[in-house]
Amino acid sequence: MKKRVVVAMSGGVDSSTAAWFLKEKGYEVIGATMCIGMMDKAQGVPVRCCGLTDIEDARRVALQLEIPFYVFHLKEEFEKEVIQYFCEEYMKGRTPNPCILCNEKVKFGSFLKKALELEADFIATGHYARLDLNERIGRYLLKKGVDRKKDQSYVLFSLTQDQFHHTLFPLGENRKEEVRKKALQLGLRIHDKPESQEVCFIQESSYHSFLTERFKQSIEPGPILDKSGKVLGRHKGIPFYTIGQRRGLRLAKGKPLYVIGIDREKNEIIVGGEEEVYSDKFVVNSVNWIVPQKMISSHTTQVKIRYNHPGSEASISPKGENEWEVKFKSPQKAITPGQAAVFYDGETVLGGGWIKEVLSRGDS
């Protein structure tokens, strides 16, 4: 009997081509798109993804591939797990990564649950990553996609073994240009559809108005200070700033200044020179290990501190309950609380967690 797989189709080229690959491999393929309640336009601004246009694009591809198609309504789940988290993190003076929570809680959470209700064996996505079942240890290992420029293993570090057990990544062995070429050959109208690069539920060019609309009464201006405590100016509100930010400070001090600290309790932004943006030691909490912790023979790994960070050599050591201290061999720019730190051994993801606090800076 054919294995049944529900493909999370976003209406883009990756998930559409993934559905074709799986059908070619002999799976019973079903297409499904998440509806998270986003309209096509708000105040004249187009939605970046997950809107009605994307649902219709996915539906047309499913029709062309001759596979069944469903729409999973996940507005409440998305609001609770992703949007609320996004807002709360910024209000705390942290910088969130909503894509990771969307993967963990919605795509590989609520979406997977609905797929299993359709008696599916797997779900599949268009992520550029690979899974390898290591039978010796009885665990799935997450590995980088072959296309290093498109590798998305970073945003998948928090998934569980059970989620991996029900997941396929058909594009992990492919390169992006190959995927677009195949979509063109298949005559899929979305073969040249642009990728969504921004947060899908933010329709404006900036997230500021989104937060202002939700927390207008809670966002207060405050002082911008240097490290000595001298007041240099005023900020518009803690949620509008992130570590390493230069633009929007409105400070004329003869040299570029950057955000090097955010004190939510005192409602203060601390700024300094570019050299002060660099840090080499920080704490990670809520760590999820994909490779069993006891099997990590060396505590020297490559660590990525954001999606587009190339990764850098660091030592990691246990600090407390599910907390680890990370010490980079050389200081890195803008280590930011709220972002994920993901540990690699070559192409294999060991695990990762969330940056809790920075312990030292490059100038210390």
How far apart (Å, rounded) are the C-alpha atoms in residues 323 and 284?
A: 6
Determine whether 99 is an active site residue.
no
Please name the residues in contact with 250: beta carbons below 8 A apart, sequence gap of 6 or more. 233
Please name the residues in contact with 178: beta carbons below 8 A apart, sequence gap of 6 or more. none
How far apart (Å, rounded) are the C-alpha atoms in residues 152 and 143?
A: 9
β-partners of residue 144 are: 129
Instruction: Count the alpha carbons within 13 Å of 360 in the hemisphere toward its beta carbon.
Output: 12
Three-class SS of residue 124? strand
Q: Which of 115, 25, 105 is nearest to 72 (CA)?
A: 115
Query: Which listed residue (49, 87, 99, 102) is catalytic?
Result: 102
Determine whether 102 is an active site residue.
yes
Instruction: Count the alpha carbons within 13 Å of 236 in the hemisphere toward its beta carbon.
Output: 14
How far are the Cα atoms of 126, 256, 264 from residue 244, in angstroms, in the given order?
31, 11, 16
- Beta strands 323-333 and 312-320 are antiparallel
Query: Which listed residue (49, 50, 87, 200) is catalytic?
Result: 200
β-partners of residue 358 are: 282
Catalytic residues: 102, 200
